[in-house]
Amino acid sequence: MFDKHNMFFRFRMNSRQDMKSGIIVVLLLMSAWLVAGDSIQAPAQVFLKTWKVTGMQATVDTIPVDTAHLNFQLDNAIDRFSIANSYRGNLGSPIQSKLYFDRPQQHEFIFADAYYPYLHQLESTTFYNTKTPFSSLYYLTGGTNYYEDEQFRFLFTANANRKFNMGIVLDYLFARGEYTSLASKRFGGSIFGTYSGKNYSATGVVTTNNHSNYENGGITDTAYINGSINYPPQNIPVNIRGFSNLKLNQLFYNHSYSLGIERPVRINEDSVRMEYVPVTIFAHTLNISDYRKRYFEPSVEKDFYENTFFEGKETNDTAAYRSISNRVSVSMAEEFNKWLKFGLSAYLENGIERFVYQVDTIVWNHTNSSTKAGAILSRDNGKFLRYNFSGELTFLGRRAGDFALNASLKGTIPLGKHQLNLDASGLVRSETPSYFTSYYHSNHFKWDADFEKLYRTQLNGRLSVPVLRFALKASVENVSNLIYFDRKAMPVQFTGNVQVLAANLKQDFKAGKFTLENNVVYQLSSHQEYLPLPTLTLFHNLYYDGLWFKVLSVQMGVDLRYHTLYYAPSYMPATGQFHVQDQKRIGNYPLMNVYVNAHLKRTRFFAQYYHINNLFMKGDYYSMPYYPLYPAQFRMGLTWNFYD
């Protein structure tokens, strides 16, 4: 049936096992080659600069190059997202962080929120500048024979000259899952480039994503997990057999032209050189996005869902969102004024949106437009103080009346040879609810509501002392007119105020070659019935780190995750939304993993025994209601970098 709709996962076991055997052989040969030959060592002087771009203003945020040998076993989309997550167990599954301040802002296309960590888009794109071509191969596998998860990722980037860089990322994930009808498959990638000239600069990226996963509605009975009989995961019955697909294609292009002056810079007592200093910068940004969501059932699941509205033998729900936005801006460059070092920008942005939706079984669409203006005051190059203040107001279109005020401060206080870092940020926003939060029709769900604007106020403060391996962040947010999905998975608005308070403490201890990493998060929600959160969340990582044979960096350890009991949100397959429930509490169960990481020249690899305490410990090891974690299993991964 799925073949008819081009939606069927084809599991070819023989070819997959042959491929896996071949990969293992290749990895062994690579390891032997690396040990035997010094000629493949990375060049002594490797220049590789990396950064990300945030927002329509294309603000550059420098990030470190990902070559660290520690904690490579955590280099996957789930563990990078948060230390505690609600998900279905396998890579590629819909996911929501259990830490409120780790959750991204809700997207206009709400069906994409559950896939945020997996998507290739502007926010996840890393840009490069390198003197030699750089490429990287990444491979991850884990599971039990036929039910393994696998991911391949390839990166290549090179500079044509000092000014121009281009690169490509290809990313494939296939995760069959330990439980029935849980498979995920995704192909994503991007082509990116930057140009940095004297007057003209540009940043561009084109991304594509095709993410598919089966839906099983969870297991039918919790007794299968913590009962007296040990059931193989693949034999545990599940509620439904459905299918979800999300597609995202995006184009982002920012370019600017600067007018400036030549300023003399003294090199020594006898000579000077002329340096170009930008004064005024004119910029334009284009952002085009195309989101598409589909939910399919080969036979209508009437027993699992409370409602079925359409006649027919199958469910085939669809929705889409397309947007085109253009922003023009003019800026006064920070570098121009020696005495008042700050940048000042003003911009005007217009966005056109098309919403595609169902009315009964007929697909309709309509188009909206919004226009907003804003300004930014910033200092990005200060040694001891950096700041960014911004404000914007939407004055035309569907979102007329929306506004956003944002502020951030970053300070550094010298402490002898060391430093103390102080960060503070805050925001005040008035937001029109997502269109699909207000209106949606499908086979099992219908809603048509007129919600009020959301009003958010948030404050954050962070203190860190790197030499002491200490960081403490405190956050508080007040939300008025919160929209949440209730126990029937329908959107509802609470017209009062909901407050969230969180304290995030990181403190590491090191003794010789042994390190204990600790991350403790305390959360308090004023209305757990609308916004449930675990009160206490823990992550601990104890490991040995040493250099063997003068060339092999080795890390061996055990990590543990834990959170207290709470009524964790459940997941609704037909809409891809997480909704509140009051039937089952999740938590009070530790998740332990033992691992070994190794870094040899250009290669990093790890071996991990995931959920090892499942071998000797009973408990309700659920990520969210009726979605258990994976049982104990072996995982491994490798990345290999090339600098030529």
What pLDDT score was predicted for residue 510? 95
Q: Residue 423 burial by CB count (10 A; 0-12/13-18/19+): exposed, middle or buried?
A: middle
Query: Which of 141, 214, 205 shows the shortest CA–CA distance to 172?
Result: 141
Quote the pLDDT of residue 32: 42
Q: How far apart are CA 195 and CA 257, in angstroms?
A: 12
Q: Judge whether residue 26 has pLDDT over 50.
A: no
Alpha-carbon distance of 278 to 281, in angstroms, equals: 7
pTM attached to this predicted model: 0.90
pLDDT for the residue numbered 15? 38
Q: Which of 3-17, 162-176, 286-300, 490-504 has the lowest mean pLDDT?
A: 3-17
Q: Cβ neighbours of residue 38 under 8 Å, at least 6 residues apart?
A: none
394 DSSP assignment: E
Q: Which of 110-114, 179-183, 378-382 has the lowest mean pLDDT?
A: 378-382
Quote the pLDDT of residue 273. Answer: 82
Structural fold of domain 2-642? Maltoporin; Chain A (2.40.170)
DSSP class of residue 569 equals P
Whether the predicted pLDDT of 1 surpasses 60 = no
Q: What percentage of residues in the chain have a pLDDT greater than 90?
A: 73
For residue 260 the two structure tokens come to 């400036």
Looking at residue 35, its pLDDT comes to: 41
Q: How far apart are CA 525 and CA 522, in angstroms?
A: 10
Residue 404 has pLDDT above 80, yes or no: yes
Calculate mean pLDDT across residues 135-148.
86
pLDDT for residue 44: 45
Query: Is there a contact between 612 and 643 (Cβ–Cβ < 8 Å)?
Result: no
Identify which has the larger pLDDT, 245 or 89: 245
Amino acid 422: pLDDT? 96
| Mean pLDDT calculated for residue range 361-387 | 90
pLDDT at 235 over 70: yes
pLDDT band with cut points at 50, 70 and 90 for residue 336: confident
* Statement: residue 519 has pLDDT above 60: yes
DSSP H helical segments within 402-461, as ranges?
435-438
- Rg value, the chain, Cα: 26
Q: Does residue 45 register a pLDDT over 60?
A: no
The 10s digit of each residue's pLDDT in 522-541 is 999 999 999 999 999 999 99
Say which residues have a Cβ less than 8 Å from residue 537's Cβ, sequence separation at least 6: 83, 84, 98, 99, 520, 521, 523, 562, 563, 564
Per the CB < 8 A criterion, the answer to whether 600 and 69 are in contact is no
Give long-range contacts, CB 8 A cutoff, 24+ apart: 270-276.
276/198
Name the token pair of 119.
């998507």
Angle at 16 between CA 12 and CA 21, to 5 degrees: 155
Compute the mean pLDDT over every residue in the chain, rounded to the nearest whole number.
89
In terms of DSSP bridges, do strands 622-624 and 536-548 run parallel, antiparallel, or are they unpaired?
unpaired
Poorest-pLDDT segment among 249-253, 352-356, 415-419, 428-432: 415-419
Is residue 244 within 8 Å of 573, Cβ to Cβ? yes
Kindly give, in sequence order, each residue whose CB lies less than 8 Å from that of residue 550, ignoring residues fewer than 6 positions away: none
pLDDT at 454: 97
- Distance (Å, whole) CA 282 – CA 538: 47
Residue type, 642: F
* Residue 22 clears pLDDT 90, i.e. is over it: no
* Domains of the chain by residue range: 2-642
Q: Are 593 and 582 a contacting pair, CB within 8 Å? A: no
| DSSP annotation of 43 | P
Mean pLDDT of 453-457: 97
What one-character DSSP code corresponds to residue 306? S
Contact 556, 572 (CB under 8 A): no
Q: What is residue 57's predicted lDDT score, i.e. its pLDDT?
A: 63
CB-CB contact of 27 with 19 (8 Å): no
Mean pLDDT on 580-598: 96
Task: Note the helical H segments in 455-566.
Answer: none
**Cβ count within 10 A of residue 51:** 17
Please report how many Cα atoms fall inside a 13 Å half-sphere around the Cα of residue 180, on the Cβ side: 16
